[in-house]
Amino acid sequence: MSQVIEVKVPDIGDYTDVPVIDICVKVGDVVKVDDALVTLESDKATMDVPSSAAGVVKEVRVQLGDRISEGTVVVVVEASAGAVATPPPVSAAAPVAAAATPAAAPPAPAAASGGGTVEVVVPDIGDYSDVPVIDVCVKVGDTVKVDDALVTLESDKATMDVPSSVAGVIREIRVKLGDKVSAGVVVVLVDSSTAGTLAAAPAAPAAVPAASAPAASAVASAAPAPVPAPAAAPVAAGLPLGSRTHASPSVRLLARELGVDLARVTPSGPKSRIVKEDVTAYVKGVLSAPPAAAAAGASLGGGLDLLPWPKVDFAKFGAVEVKPLARIKKISAQNLARNWVMIPAVTYHEDADITDLEAFRVAMNKENEKSGVKITMLAFLIKACTVALKKFPEFNSSLDGDNLVFKQYFNIGFAADTPNGLVVPVVKNADQKSVLQIAVDSGELARKARDGKLGPADMSGACFTISSVGGIGGTCFSPIVNAPEVAILGVSKSVMKPVWNGSQFEPRLILPMSLSADHRVIDGALATRFNVHVAQLLADMRRVLL
């Protein structure tokens, strides 16, 4: 025989209006005794409200952001007979409330009148011991205030920050991630800056209940509910919206202050936990991301809004075949769309006379035929661009906010055509290599690209990119700048053209070049000079030696 049970918030001391930050179940879910139903959080602690009955969730009575107190009905569970647990009395099995004065709390160490080194210890956390450290919030040299979080502890039902009982500078950290600590364990040594900075020994800001304790009576003063991220903020790859997030109270407080929805943040900590660095990295990503101009209803300014992307049933007009977009193209699509929207690029065209260079290349390949090394025109292009980057350092830079970062190394990327799409391997330190060595390196990278064996290191660190379609055809094109670079050189198919030499036309092999440059860094005059210089180097490679 079944019965309907109203599961309520257990005794949480004298505290009320504690915000609900997560709902762990939905109607229809089957729960066991002690399964988490909702999560509450103050500015110092996070606790789960466990189920006191096993059965099926019939109704969820609270919503995200609701502020609830002891006795508030959380969910209604249809439980079978004998499936209701008897909550242990708070004074016996549940941890000590945050405001309660612990019977045997370790006294706060006293500082000398002129300031001194103070040992900050884990406060009273009830009868529980060996609680793992899941986050160390400070490092040696940090300045802390009273109540600043030092480390975060976590059991299977609650998370708590160990606050500093003194203001000063961290001199030593006595624990590390994964350590298991108990009340009285020294966490850090703090050099107190002035006399009188010691706070009264805090009661446990949040108790760390054992697995058998369904009630956690340790929620401190209420804190505001988490603020969702702005609507335009992109969802980071990682936790989907609405999924349960794992973060310490201090990290959650930081997220609230910055207006970050933790469900959008990709975790990097142990056991998929969100740490402070994840929150700050997410904020930086949002601030540097392009506006969602392609989204439905996005504004173009001047009262002009973009229409939603058209949805068409193509099968109405004839037979169709649907194939998934290749993974490389999916990744490239996001980068290309960002670069196209964010970079005000202008393309400049120039012709390079490579008649003599091509004759030299053919002769060298014939000479090196037995060695198997084949010099490509790409190798000469990489060498010429490297020399040009040294003459025009703006092209070897990247924008970082209001600063321009000039690189002292010369890594050249080149677009490689593969069956799955274009990839951009990088020839590292091209300025230190001969044309022959560049040909060997670029050939090896192109082979790895075709075989799908390029690693991340093979495609990172480029200063400048060359995109050549000369082996296929074309006369000119506008390549898209590959952020954070500021320029890219496109090369089309060389063609024999009549060129006036002052007295007559003569046939010359002409290589069309298309240079796209970020106009925020490179103006038209500088781009044209760069193009002309590269053309001069290709026309007479002896200039590379100068």
Q: State which H helix or E strand residue 41 sits in.
A: strand 36-41
Contact 220, 45 (CB under 8 A): yes
Contact 339, 480 (CB under 8 A): yes
Query: What is the chain's Cα-based Rg?
Result: 33
The tally of CA atoms less than 13 A away on the side-chain side of residue 519 is 9
The tally of CA atoms less than 13 A away on the side-chain side of residue 475 is 2
Q: How far apart are CA 497 and CA 499, in angstroms?
A: 6
Q: How far apart are CA 395 and CA 44, in angstroms?
A: 50
459: left (phi over 0), alpha (psi -120 to 50) or beta: alpha
Q: Is 519 a catalytic residue?
A: yes
Contact 442, 376 (CB under 8 A): yes
Q: Which residue of the set 246, 349, 519, 533 is catalytic?
A: 519
184-211 in b/e burial notation, b at 16+ Cβ within 10 A? ebebbbbbbeeeebbeebbbbbbbbbbe
Give the single-character DSSP code of 205: S
Whether the bond between 50 and the residue before it is cis, its omega within 30 degrees of 0, is no
Could you count the other beta carbons within 10 Å of the beta carbon of residue 502? Answer: 4
473: left (phi over 0), alpha (psi -120 to 50) or beta: left
The 3-class SS string of 266-295 reads CCCCHHHCECHHHHHHHHHHHHHCCCCCCC
Question: Which pair of tokens denotes residue 355?
Answer: 């008649």
| Cα dihedral 98→100→102→107 (10° resolution) | 70
The torsion angles phi and psi of 448, rounded to 5 degrees, stand at -65, -35
The torsion angles phi and psi of 527, rounded to 5 degrees, stand at -65, -40
Angle of helix 524-539 relative to helix 355-367, nearest 10 degrees, comes to: 50
Give the single-character DSSP code of 431: G
Question: Which pair of tokens denotes residue 202?
Answer: 């805090």
Residue indicated by tokens 């952001």: 65
Q: How far is CA 518 from the centre of its chain?
A: 25
Map residue 104 onto helix, strand or coil. Answer: coil
Q: State which H helix or E strand residue 364 sits in.
A: helix 355-367
Q: How far apart are CA 228 and CA 233, in angstroms?
A: 10
Give the residue from 157, 159, 156, 154 showing the smallest Cα distance to 132: 154
Residue indicated by tokens 């001069």: 536
Contact 24, 48 (CB under 8 A): yes
Q: Which residues are catalytic?
A: 519
